[in-house]
Every structure is written in structure tokens, then in C-alpha cells.
């Protein structure tokens, strides 16, 4: 529905009051008719929207979307014609058309494939299991590791097929030498009975890797009542790569068993989670404290109402505010990468990254609070002949201290959450463990870390919210 346009009469004079001229200009260059009719923002928005849409379509080679661009272009002509006749058209139809283009292109760029959520649901099963069975506590247990030697590339004197264990049991291999990919039958006797047993492969330099099933799952068998089992595997490709050297190398089939002998205790991974969560909280606490010492003085020189006295202080205000905005716009994870290169891996890099980002964030919050204070006390203190610092101490600080403290608590709460991922780039904290466990597919340990993060963050969020309620 057309609406009266109060800006059109004066501006239309530049086009001689001719609606056809305005429409013709917008037909050639979208938004130009609106621009010359005085609707500068409207004209530039139309030009930018259509230009961005055309560029996106050409980039992704999706010519069918030009239908939506054509609709928006024709609407732009009609809109210019209407403006020249002192009426304004709703911008919602072309906006919807251009959004269809942008979101369709965005869908294509991000390769959205919802069907994969169902088709590859089995890949998420280990993660779900880790979340439901986190490795935080475990039963008192004992562990044993046994090996049966196997040569990759046969030598003149391969090891015997049966290895006698110290416990009296045996490991018998169907062959004791061969090539990568060869089938191998493993039979073990005299192990712990009725115990889940993991099959591993040990290479010549002592590194161990899991033997997996064709589906990619770790191979686990259960011994019978006599402590025996049989299983078929393939000789895996292990480091160092045997086929590269051509020389016989002594590998081994490794059998790992763990059995319960007592009650519950915190697991090794559980203690690691506790240690790294404490480190994570400490990183956030120290970084927030450091940031406060720098952000408080910066906030006063970044407050317009305190720095508008003369050109010098105004210049200082703009420089400070610009620096705060620039630093605040850089994600703390990016800053952490810089400090990891600068000071090395560890929590110190994380502390410095969060400190820098928190100075900018708190400085902005503090300065905005300073700008919203009651100016009466400031005038009263200035009337006594007080200088700038005395004005800040006696007229500003008493008004801003409670909100400053509330913002600080809020920032510490944010930093706890941010510090959990700094370890992804070597900045210390629980994130460092999560990266390592993800590479080793230790989903139960990752589950313990996730639950710890959720519980700690939830508790701190509740405490900080209650503290801010009392302060504000």
C-alpha cells in the first residue's frame, strides 16, 4: 500500500518532478532514482542489496536465483516511480527476495546436508557413550599386558608361534612373520577368565596402537571361564613403516586386560580433569584481576563526559575508545595463538590472551557506566577547584564502584567459559586435554571433561548472577 512521502516534493525537483525519469534511472542503476529523490539511505541500501546478491550468485554459479534479483530490480523501478509521485512503497517484498538469494547461497556455501545427521549417526555413538559413561571414577582394578612377537618381513629365524607367559598362560599365533594386511589367527590361554580383553599392536620402537574391526571400532574380546579366547585379525600398517625399509622388524600382538578388585576411586583421567579445571578457573581469575587494574584507569579516559574539556582530552578519548574497540573485536582464541608463539605453550599464554581481551571488554563497559553517571556531583566537586583526578576520585568512583564490581564478576564468569577452549591452541586449561583425548579417541575422558565444564560453569554462573543482583 502506498504511503505519503513528505520528502519527495523538494527532492523531486532535481528530476524535474518526472516519475518516469526517476524510474528510468533506477532501471539503469538500482537505487539511483531514490538517491536523487533525496532518499539516500534507501537508494544505497537497494544498490548494495542487489549488488551483493548478483555477486553471490555469480560466485556460486546459481543462475536460477536471478529470478529473485529481477523481482527486486523491478520493484526498485516501481519504488522510484512512486517516490516521484509522493508515495512510498513497502520494502518487505524486495527484502524477502534478496534474503532468499543470500540464504540460498549461504546454504550452498556451508554445504548443509541434514541427511548426514541420520546417515552417519553411528559416528556419534562413541561420543554419546562417552557422555553417558564419563571416565571420572573407576573401580579398583589391576592391569596386565602380554605380547606375542611377530615379524613384518620374514627373516631366516622368525620367533616361535607360541609364547609362554610368566603367569603360565600362552599366546599362539597362526604365523610369526608376514606382511602388512596378512590374516593372523590369535589364540590365548591361561589369562584372567571372563574379562574384556583389548587387542593392540606394538611396533619395534615401543609405540602401541589399537587393532580395530572393519567398522573402525576397537577390537575387544571376552575370555571364557578358562581364560582363553581366539580371534582373527589383519597385520596392521604400523610405524615405522616396514614396507619402506625392506628389513625384517619385530612387532608384537599385544593383549591388555583389566579386572576389578575393589571399590570406587577417582580415575587417572578424573584427576587430570580436576587439575586442569582448577587451572582453567585460575586462568580466568588471574586474567580478570590483571584486566581490572588496566581497565579501570582506561575507562575514565574513554568516557566522553570526562574528556570533553579541551581538544587534547577529546583526542585522547577517541584514540583510547578506538583501541578498545579494535582489541575487543579480536577473538581471545586468536590472541592466544599470538601469545603461544610469544611465550610458549601453557597457562601463561592463556592468562595473557584473556587479560588483553578483558581489558578491552571491561574498559568499554566501565566507560559506558561512567558516561551514564549523575553529573551533579561532578559539577559540585569541580566548583571547589578540584583537578581532574580529584574529580574522578570524589565524584565519579563512589557512583560507579557497585556496577564496576558487578561487571567484573560478570567478566570473570565469561572468562571461565572462554578459558575452557584456550587449550585448543596451547593456552592451557581443560581444552588442552580435550584436544589430546580427541586425537586418541578417548571419548569417555572427553565426557568427563564436558560434564566438569558444564557443572563448574553452571555453578559459577549462578553464583555470579546472585552476586550481581546484590550489587546492581
Q: pLDDT over 70 for what percent of the chain?
A: 94
On whether the 269-471 domain is CATH 3.90.1200.10, my answer is no
Write down the pLDDT at residue 194.
94
Write down the pLDDT at residue 14.
52
pLDDT at 91 over 50: yes
Write down the pLDDT at residue 472.
63
Write down the pLDDT at residue 11.
45
Tell me the per-residue pLDDT of 296-348, one tens digit each, with 9 for 90 and over.
999 988 988 878 778 888 898 999 999 999 999 999 989 999 999 999 888 99
Burial class (CB in 10 A: 0-12, 13-18, 19+), 45: middle
pLDDT at 40 over 70: yes
Tell me the per-residue pLDDT of 221-238, one tens digit each, with 9 for 90 and over.
999 999 999 999 999 887
Is the whole model's pTM more than 0.85, yes or no? no
Write down the pLDDT at residue 15.
52
Average pLDDT for residues 166-181, to the nearest whole number?
91
Paired with 253 in beta bridges are 148, 201
Contact 89, 79 (CB under 8 A): yes
Write down the pLDDT at residue 245.
58
Contact 351, 364 (CB under 8 A): no
Dihedral Cα 275, 276, 281, 284, nearest 10 deg: 140
For the domain bounded by 138-265, which CATH number is listed? 2.60.40
Q: Is 17 left (phi over 0), alpha (psi -120 to 50) or beta?
A: left
pLDDT at 173 over 50: yes
pLDDT at 242 over 80: no
**pLDDT range class, residue 1, cuts 50, 70, 90:** very low
The whole-angstrom distance between residue 428's C-alpha and the CA centroid of its chain comes to 15
Tell me the per-residue pLDDT of 195-213, one tens digit each, with 9 for 90 and over.
999 999 998 888 899 998 8
Q: What is the mean pLDDT of the chain?
A: 87
Cα(296)–Cα(365) distance, integer angstroms = 10
pLDDT at 12 over 60: no
Domain ranges of the chain: 3-109, 138-265, 269-471
Closest residue by Cα to residue 323 from 348, 352, 347, 301 = 301
Average pLDDT for residues 37-58, to the nearest whole number?
92
pLDDT at 372 over 70: yes
Pairing of strands 208-210, 170-173: unpaired
Burial class (CB in 10 A: 0-12, 13-18, 19+), 269: buried
Contact 257, 167 (CB under 8 A): no
**pLDDT range class, residue 244, cuts 50, 70, 90:** low
Average pLDDT for residues 150-177, to the nearest whole number?
91
Write down the pLDDT at residue 6.
46
Q: Which three cell numbers stand for residue 465?
A: 548472577
Write down the pLDDT at residue 342.
93
**pLDDT range class, residue 447, cuts 50, 70, 90:** very high
Write down the pLDDT at residue 190.
93
Contacts of 233-236 with CB under 8 Å at 24 or more apart are 233/183, 233/184, 233/186, 233/199, 234/181, 234/182, 234/183, 234/184, 235/150, 235/152, 235/178, 235/179, 235/180, 235/181, 235/182, 235/184, 236/180, 236/201, 236/209, 236/211
Apex CA 394: angle with CA 388 and CA 395, to 5°?
80
Distances (CA, A) of 246 to 148, 150, 251, 253, 463: 22, 16, 14, 20, 64
pLDDT at 410 over 50: yes
Contact 257, 191 (CB under 8 A): yes
Cα(180)–Cα(154) distance, integer angstroms = 12
State yes or no: cis peptide before 240, omega within 30 of 0: yes
Amino acid at each position: 500500500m502506498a504511503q505519503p512521502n513528505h520528502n519527495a516534493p523538494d527532492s523531486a525537483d532535481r528530476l524535474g518532478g518526472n516519475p518516469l525519469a526517476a524510474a528510468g534511472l533506477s532501471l539503469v542503476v538500482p537505487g539511483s532514482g531514490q538517491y536523487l529523490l533525496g532518499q539516500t539511505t534507501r537508494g544505497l541500501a537497494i544498490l548494495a542489496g542487489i549488488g551483493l546478491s548478483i555477486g553471490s550468485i555469480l560466485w556460486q554459479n546459481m543462475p536460477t536465483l536471478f529470478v529473485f534479483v529481477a523481482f527486486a530490480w523491478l520493484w526498485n523501478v516501481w519504488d522510484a516511480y512512486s517516490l516521484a509521485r509522493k508515495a512510498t512503497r513497502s520494502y518487505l517484498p524486495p527484502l524477502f527476495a534478496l534474503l532468499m538469494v543470500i540464504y540460498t547461497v549461504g546454504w550452498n556455501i556451508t554445504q548443509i546436508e541434514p541427511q548426514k545427521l541420520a546417515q552417519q549417526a553411528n559416528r556419534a555413538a562413541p561420543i554419546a557413550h562417552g557422555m553417558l559413561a564419563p571416565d571420572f571414577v573407576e573401580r579398583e582394578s589391576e592391569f596386565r599386558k602380554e605380547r606375542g612377537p611377530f615379524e613384518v618381513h620374514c627373516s631366516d629365524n622368525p620367533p616361535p608361534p607360541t609364547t609362554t607367559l610368566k603367569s603360565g598362560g600362552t599366546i599362539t599365533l597362526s604365523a610369526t612373520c608376514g606382511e602388512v594386511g596378512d590374516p593372523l589367527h590369535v589364540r590365548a590361554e591361561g589369562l584372567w577368565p571372563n574379562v574384556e580383553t583389548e587387542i593392540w599392536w606394538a611396533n619395534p620402537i615401543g609405540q602401541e596402537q589399537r587393532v580395530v574391526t572393519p567398522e573402525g571400532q576397537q577390537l575387544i574380546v571376552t575370555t571364557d571361564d578358562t581364560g582363553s579366547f581366539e580371534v582373527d585379525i589383519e597385520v596392521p600398517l604400523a610405524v615405522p613403516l616396514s614396507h619402506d625399509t625392506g628389513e625384517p622388524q619385530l612387532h608384537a600382538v599385544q593383549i591388555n586386560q583389566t579386572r576389578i578388585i575393589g571399590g570406587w576411586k577417582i580415575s587417572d583421567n578424573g584427576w587430570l580433569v580436576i587439575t586442569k579445571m582448577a587451572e582453567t578457573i585460575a586462568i580466568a581469575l588471574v586474567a580478570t584481576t590483571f584486566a581490572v587494574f588496566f581497565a579501570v584507569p582506561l575507562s575514565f579516559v574513554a568516557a566522553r563526559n570526562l574528556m570533553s574539556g579541551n581538544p587534547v582530552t577529546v583526542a585522547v578519548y577517541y584514540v583510547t575508545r578506538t583501541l578498545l574497540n579494535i582489541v575487543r573485536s579480536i577473538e581471545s582464541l586468536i590472541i592466544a595463538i599470538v601469545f603461544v608463539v610469544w611465550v610458549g605453550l601453557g597457562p601463561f599464554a592463556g592468562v595473557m590472551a584473556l587479560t588483553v581481551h578483558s581489558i578491552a571488554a571491561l574498559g568499554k563497559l566501565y566507560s559506558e557506566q561512567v558516561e551514564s553517571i549523575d553529573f551533579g556531583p561532578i559539577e559540585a566537586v569541580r566548583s571547589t577547584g578540584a583537578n581532574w583526578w580529584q574529580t574522578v576520585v570524589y565524584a565519579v568512583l563512589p557512583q560507579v564502584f557497585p556496577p564496576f564490581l558487578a561487571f567484573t564478576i560478570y567478566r570473570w564468569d565469561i572468562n571461565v567459559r572462554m578459558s575452557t577452549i584456550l587449550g585448543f591452541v596451547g593456552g592451557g586449561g581443560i581444552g588442552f586435554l580435550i584436544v589430546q583425548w580427541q586425537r586418541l579417541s578417548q571419548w569417555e575422558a572427553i565426557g568427563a571433561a564436558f560434564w566438569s565444564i558444564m557443572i563448574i560453569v553452571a555453578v559459577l554462573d549462578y553464583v555470579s548472577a546472585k552476586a550481581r543482583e546484590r550489587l546492581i
